[in-house]
Structure 1
Amino acid sequence: MTTGSPARRLAEDASRSLEPIYELLGQIADEVLRCLPPRATLSEAHFSTLHRSLAERLQREHAVWGMGFIAAPFVVDGLERYMAWWQRNNDRVARLRLNFDPTSIDVYDYLQMDWYQLAKRGQARVAYGPYVDYSGSDMYTITATIPVVADGTFLGVAGADLVVGEVERKLLEVLRQADEDAVVVNTERRVIAANTPRWFVGSRLPAMPAVGSTADPSSFRDVAEMPLGTGWVVAIAWPENDTDRSRPQA
């Protein structure tokens, strides 16, 4: 793989198409930091401006189901769990309220979820999914998050639930520039978008795409990681033959 490879060029263009998502999360994180009181304990009351901003943004951002701030334990009002999260359902925008009671059988324990844990561990940009968000939007989604940090202290994450179809559409506009079969794959080997019926969104490849010879049915002609910072890769396939070169797994 060379710097000027076809996969590298597609990866750069694909990253640019999704960069606005993380610019949005950066703006949410900045708003959270502006809510911090200079000396008092952070409370729900300090987020009044943030809540208004989230509701207004969500009216305009039709590529996302929901967005907001998810706090680390005891950061807000001494609560172990706290979310300032707004969600869109058709044309209605409302604040999402979930069950955080740890003694309840249906507690929403976001502290254990990958999109939270990865950001907590220092990953600057997380994109988890696609998956069906049964506890939140009930939609097929990708959750994007970034850590919110003040003076070296992890406060939580700024996040957004992305409409998978919109993410796929943006990526397809890029992949269709390629003459060969091309696919975007996430860190869990799941297909995010492809310009060919050889793969379908959400399917899982047997292995992460890697460059290899035509003798290896799982190899690709060219592979490049997207500069977006999520670990997603763009892979260009060898021409199809009688062998199914990259049969997806469920």
Structure 2
Amino acid sequence: MNHAAIHGRIEKWLLQKQLVPLEALVDEVAGMAADAPLTDAGLAALTPTLDAELGRSAVSVGIGFVAAPGKVRGRSLYLHWMQLSGSRSVPLKLNLDRRDADVYDYLEMDWYVHARDRRRPVIQGPYLDYSGSDRFVFTLTVPVVVDDEFLGVVGADLLADRVEASLCGILRSHTGRALVVGGDGTVIASNTPDWMPGETLRTHPRDAPATFEAVELISEWSGWSLATIETAS
């Protein structure tokens, strides 16, 4: 496959398999908020949907809703998050008491801040998820906004090794050398040992036209790019 065909397949994988299910969850949360104030009991109704999505996804290890301060009745901070534990889906329990030194303060995390401020999906990582899966993950989040009011984010943790495997399966169809790289130059996946996942390139492919024959954003919101060299070495 050539660059354009590979780009289309990766764009479809990122949009249809990862983003669209979260956008459906956004609609579900927004619908709840339009009818009445959000409550813990009301948001518990999301659990079957979250469980089903974890069962469907080939890469997700956690999924849920993370609220903006005070947007869930009686709660300062709040999350309803389901996490895979073996083959089971279980609620993720975190300390959200900001008076404690070991609080899980998601208000300062990039996947929350950027989705809130940019009002569009964001994907962060890979990083080691100490508080949840204890695995290397990407966190994909989509803001929930009703009548211009930010209510929080819907998100999913995607296992980095499974993301790499999925993308490598597509990149191997390329006729030459190819890689997917983040906006900061971190290699996400490649079809050659020339670039290793997790490696940060000294020069981003978009700034190296003499090296790469084609460099194209996969999506504006992700910041991911596909870079290719048509002739194999």
* TM-score under structure 1 length normalisation: 0.85
Corresponding position of 1:12: 8
Corresponding position of 1:34: 31
AA at the equivalent of 1:68: G
Corresponding position of 1:234: 226
The count of corresponding residues between Structure 1 and Structure 2 is: 231
Return the alpha-carbon distance in structure 1 between the equivalents of residues 88 and 154 of structure 2: 22
Q: 1:15 to 1:59 in 2, by over 3 A?
A: same
Q: 1:194 to 1:123 in 2, by over 3 A?
A: farther
Higher-Rg member (1/2): 1
Does residue 150 of structure 2 align to residue 154 of structure 1? Answer: yes
AA at the equivalent of 1:104: D
Kept in 1, the 8 Å contact 2:50–2:82? The answer is: yes
Corresponding position of 1:245: none
From 130, 148, 164, the equivalent of 1:168 is 164
Q: 1:239 to 1:204 in 2, by over 3 A?
A: farther
Return the alpha-carbon distance in structure 2 between the equivalents of residues 123 and 36 of structure 1: 18
Return the alpha-carbon distance in structure 2 between the equivalents of residues 233 and 124 of structure 1: 18
AA at the equivalent of 2:188: I
AA at the equivalent of 1:236: T
Deviation at 1:177, TM superposition (A): 2.1
Does residue 175 of structure 2 align to residue 179 of structure 1? Answer: yes
Corresponding position of 2:21: 24
Does residue 54 of structure 2 align to residue 58 of structure 1? Answer: yes
Corresponding position of 1:68: 64
Deviation at 1:51, TM superposition (A): 2.1
Deviation at 1:111, TM superposition (A): 0.7
Q: SS in structure 1 opposite 2:205? A: coil
Return the alpha-carbon distance in structure 2 between the equivalents of residues 165 and 191 of structure 1: 12
Q: SS in structure 2 opposite 1:236? A: strand
Deviation at 1:205, TM superposition (A): 0.7
**Superimposed CA distance per residue, residues 152-199 of structure 1 (whole angstroms, 9 cap, x where no aligned partner):** 111111100012222222212221122221110012211110000011
Report the more deviating stretch, 171-180 or 15-24: 171-180
Deviation at 1:229, TM superposition (A): 3.3
Deviation at 1:139, TM superposition (A): 0.9
RMSD between aligned alpha carbons? 2.1
Corresponding position of 2:130: 134
Deviation at 1:132, TM superposition (A): 0.8
AA at the equivalent of 1:30: D
Return the alpha-carbon distance in structure 1 between the equivalents of residues 82 and 208 of structure 2: 45
Does residue 220 of structure 2 align to residue 224 of structure 1? Answer: no
Kept in 2, the 8 Å contact 1:14–1:226? The answer is: yes
Deviation at 1:239, TM superposition (A): 6.7
AA at the equivalent of 1:224: E
Does residue 192 of structure 2 align to residue 196 of structure 1? Answer: yes
More helix by share: 2
Deviation at 1:53, TM superposition (A): 2.2
Q: 1:141 to 1:190 in 2, by over 3 A?
A: same
Deviation at 1:200, TM superposition (A): 1.2
Deviation at 1:238, TM superposition (A): 8.0
Kept in 1, the 8 Å contact 2:175–2:231? The answer is: no
* TM-score under structure 2 length normalisation: 0.91
AA at the equivalent of 2:28: E
Query: Tell me, which stretches of 5 or more residues in structure 2 are unaligned?
Result: none
Q: 1:17 to 1:57 in 2, by over 3 A?
A: closer
**Superimposed CA distance per residue, residues 96-147 of structure 1 (whole angstroms, 9 cap, x where no aligned partner):** 0101111222111111111111110125221111111011110111111111
Q: SS in structure 1 opposite 2:170? A: helix
